[in-house]
Amino acid sequence: MKNNQPNEVKLYLAGQPEKLHKQPRGLLKTTASNVGRDNDSLSLFSLQTYDEALQPIRETLSKNTAITGHYLMALWQKNRDDEGIYKIKNLSEVARPLNVTPQELKNYLIYLSGYIYPVTTREKLESGKTKLSITNDLLFKVRWNFIFKDGEDERLYNNDKRVGTRLSNYIKDLPVESVEITPNKSFIEDLEGKGLGNILVSDEVVAFSLDLSDMAYKLFCLNGSDVPTFKIGLKKLSSKKYLNLEKLLYGVYDKGKRIRAGKGKPYVVEKIKSGLEELKGKGHIDCWNYEEKDESFSWSYTNKIYKHNKLYTLGDKGKAHNNKGMTEVRKGKKKQ
């Protein structure tokens, strides 16, 4: 990664004080569930089939799109104006730390703002019970501002009769003056301590995430949405609320009939194991275990990226607290 980044997007560098920001747990849960290989991935050159009137729901979110979303959350907190809007005036400056081109960044912004994904929220009721809601919604609101060249007008970019082509024509061909970013209301509430709450994250998270496989990244996002020491059964871990691996595990069903076989339990277990071991090798996972008897995974993550209050406080000046709960994973279990 190059070091000649502007101040507003500069990441933490070795030897400098560690910089932190908050990430909403709702966004982390959303990406943990929806990140995967998108076989229907569109580019700016195939967006002519995008129908603006349909507001389509996407079942899969690419890893790079998700990382862009988390990066925008960090930039929004540091650079938003009094109206709660973060304005990107130079796409190249934002694209550079993501290791993508401005054209690719445009595509990720379309996915974050043009398609609907499940957003999780939580509310504590007066009865003491917890209300969990999952809403199909946009992850970000994105406003594109364009500048016409001398002698041009809107007709040049809006002469295609097919539905939904105007947006792609503008984004492909017109110079972008600025892009205004506003996160989903639920994510803003998370940052304020409402809903699912938030977690402190190192600014190194972008560089760390880009180097992960899809499965490791899903697990990494899931980690940030929960406590450092975690135990969960395979069936629950594979559900839509967590890693959303049910199709991979059981296959695809239509009206009660299986139309495509899944990869099966052994395959899914090995993929999760591989993801955990990858995270351990990169210093995020401290230890992990799989119990075949009850088909459950357990793990503990470090404070390398996520600064959970059980592992880290601002008064520690970068040093982690000892977490007694971490011994519960280690005790009596063979370390993988």
The 10s digit of each residue's pLDDT in 167-193 is: 666 676 677 899 999 999 999 999 999
pLDDT tops 70 at residue 331 = no
Averaged pLDDT for residues 16-24: 86
pLDDT of residue 163: 41
Rg (CA), the chain: 21
Quickly state the pLDDT bin for 151 (edges 50, 70, 90).
Answer: low
Residues 146 and 177 sit within 8 Å (Cβ to Cβ):
yes
Strand partners, 258: 253
Quickly state the pLDDT bin for 327 (edges 50, 70, 90).
Answer: very low
Distance of CA 97 to the CA centre of its chain: 16
Selected residue with higher pLDDT from 76 and 39: 76
pLDDT tops 80 at residue 165 = no
| Residue 41 neighbours by CB distance under 10 Å | 12
Q: Which amino acid is at 108?
A: Y
Q: Which two tokens stand for residue 240?
A: 């839509």
Burial track 82-92 (b if 16+ CB lie within 10 A, e otherwise): eeeebebeebe
Residues 262 and 248 sit within 8 Å (Cβ to Cβ):
yes
What tens digit of pLDDT does each residue of 276-310 get? 999 999 999 999 999 999 999 999 999 999 999 88
Quickly state the pLDDT bin for 126 (edges 50, 70, 90).
Answer: confident
| Residue 266 neighbours by CB distance under 10 Å | 8
Percent of the chain with pLDDT over 90: 52
pLDDT of residue 150: 67
Residue written as token pair 């190059």: 2
CA angle 231, 236, 237 (to 5 degrees): 65
Q: Which amino acid is at 150?
A: D
pLDDT of residue 162: 44
Per-residue CA distances from 164 to 50, 53, 55, 61 (Å): 5, 8, 11, 21
pLDDT of residue 38: 53
Selected residue with higher pLDDT from 336 and 155: 155
Cα atoms in the 13 Å half-sphere on the side-chain side of 14: 2
Backbone angles phi, psi at 67, to 5 degrees: -60, -40
pTM, rounded to two decimals: 0.80
Q: Which two tokens stand for residue 65?
A: 């799109």
Averaged pLDDT for residues 4-9: 38
Selected residue with higher pLDDT from 166 and 209: 209
pLDDT of residue 223: 96
What tens digit of pLDDT does each residue of 54-104 get? 456 777 889 999 999 999 999 999 999 999 999 999 999 999 999 999 988
Residue written as token pair 């995974």: 297
pLDDT tops 50 at residue 230 = yes
pLDDT of residue 13: 42
- Mean pLDDT, the chain, whole residue set: 81
pLDDT tops 90 at residue 149 = no
Quickly state the pLDDT bin for 32 (edges 50, 70, 90).
Answer: very high
pLDDT tops 80 at residue 9 = no
pLDDT of residue 143: 93
pLDDT of residue 210: 96
Selected residue with higher pLDDT from 130 and 306: 306
Q: Which two tokens stand for residue 39?
A: 């076989």
Averaged pLDDT for residues 126-150: 85
pLDDT of residue 47: 39
Averaged pLDDT for residues 10-23: 67
**What is the spatial order of strands in the sheet that 285-291 belongs to?**
229-233, 296-301, 285-291
For the chain, give the secondary structure using H, E and C: CCCCCCHHHCCCCCCCCCCEEEEEHHHHHHHHHHECCCCCCCCCCCHHHCCCCCCCECCCECHHHHHHHHHHHHHHHHHCCCCCCEEECCHHHHHHHHCCCHHHHHHHHHHHHHCEEEEEEEEECCCCCEEEEEEEECCEEEEEEECCCCCCCHHHHCCCCCCCHHHHHHHHHCCEEEEEEEECHHHHHHHCCCCCCEEEEECCHHHHHHCCCHHHHHHHHHHHCCCCEEEEEHHHHCCCCCCCCHHHHHCEEECCEEEECCCCHHHHHHHHHHHHHHHHHCCCEEEEEEECCCCEEEEEECCCCEECCCCCCHHHCCCCCCCHHHHHHHCCCCCC
